Amino acid sequence: MINSIKFPKKFIIKSVNDNINLKKNILDQSKKIIFISKKIFKCLKKGGKIFICGNGGSASDAQHLAAEMMVRLNSNINRKPYPVISLALDVSTLTAISNDYGFSHIYERTFDALAKKKDLLIVISTSGNSENIIKVLKKSRQKKIFSIALLGNKGGLCKNLSDLQFVVPSDDVARIQEVHIFLGHVILNLVEANLLKQ
């Protein structure tokens, strides 16, 4: 029975090649990566906070990247923590907002409570069409807070609501997420290296 189940090697090869090709696409957007890194660096240097959010796997990526700066990015570098904060704050807050106002408000409401003009917002969305991400981007415009969107596919509605967009040209959610977390690590390493020089 088990021998009849197929795990084709060609699927593995295709997945690896798709991942590599999408990451190579990052080289075409290297100027944008440098600009994003500078925006984050300047925000933190001036005492601002970085807020970051997403849904599902992108929520995990947001928490992952926030932890890298709040705790430690590189195991051989001990430095002060930086205020990079996931908007998926805690279960009590998320469920209270979802219950009282609706799931589409979970990020908008916490962002409105915590963010100031000198802060910065990063959203992560593979589709670019998540309603709660759209609402937090609109709130950032209302508060005149700069926003960066890591997106997939063609960027969705978030593309025109964010101040700066990085779009991974794929409709494969897994491949988009792999590029987003890789991109996040590249950007945060550039930011950290420059913060440590100060």
| Predicted confidence (pLDDT) per residue in 129-156, tens digit | 999 999 999 999 999 999 999 999 999 9
C-alpha 78/C-alpha 62 separation (Å) is: 22
- pLDDT tens, position by position, 58-94: 999 999 999 999 999 999 999 999 999 999 989 999 9
Q: Is there a domain that residue 184 lies in?
A: yes
Whether residue 7 is contained in a domain is answered as no
With a pLDDT cut of 90, the percent of the chain lying above it is 90
Check residue 25 and give its pLDDT.
85
Residue 192 covered by a domain: yes
Q: What is the pLDDT of residues 109-132, one digit of tens each?
A: 999 999 999 999 999 999 999 999
What residues make up the domain containing 186? 14-197
The β-bridge relationship of strands 50-54 and 120-125 is parallel
Mean pLDDT confidence for 19-28: 90
Is 3 contained in some domain? no
Residue 2 pLDDT grade (very low, low, confident, very high; cuts 50, 70, 90) = low
Residue type, 142: Q
Tell me: pLDDT of 4 over 80: no
The pLDDT-based confidence of 6 (bands split at 50, 70, 90) is confident
How many domains does the chain fold into? 1
- Per the CB < 8 A criterion, the answer to whether 154 and 20 are in contact is no
pLDDT of residue 8: 87
Residue 6 lies in a domain: no
- Domain with residue 95: its CATH number is 3.40.50.10490
- For 170-190, how does the pLDDT look when each residue is reduced to its tens digit (9 = 90+)? 999 999 999 999 999 999 999
Whether 155 is covered by a domain: the verdict is yes
Instruction: Write down the pTM of the prediction.
Output: 0.94
Residue 92's identity, in one-letter code, is: S
The verdict on residue 127 lying in a domain is yes
Contact between residue 33 and residue 187 where contact means Cβ atoms under 8 Å apart: yes
Can you give the pLDDT at residue 1?
Answer: 54
Please spell the DSSP secondary structure of the chain, one letter per residue. -GGGS---HHHHHHHHHHHHHHHHHHHHTHHHHHHHHHHHHHHHHTT--EEEEESTHHHHHHHHHHHHHHT-SSTT-------EEES---HHHHHHHHHHT-GGGHHHHHHHHH--TT-EEEEEESSS--HHHHHHHHHHHHTT-EEEEEEETT-TGGGGTSSEEEEE--S-HHHHHHHHHHHHHHHHHHHHHHHHH-
Structure-model confidence comparison of residues 89 and 34, the more confident one? 34
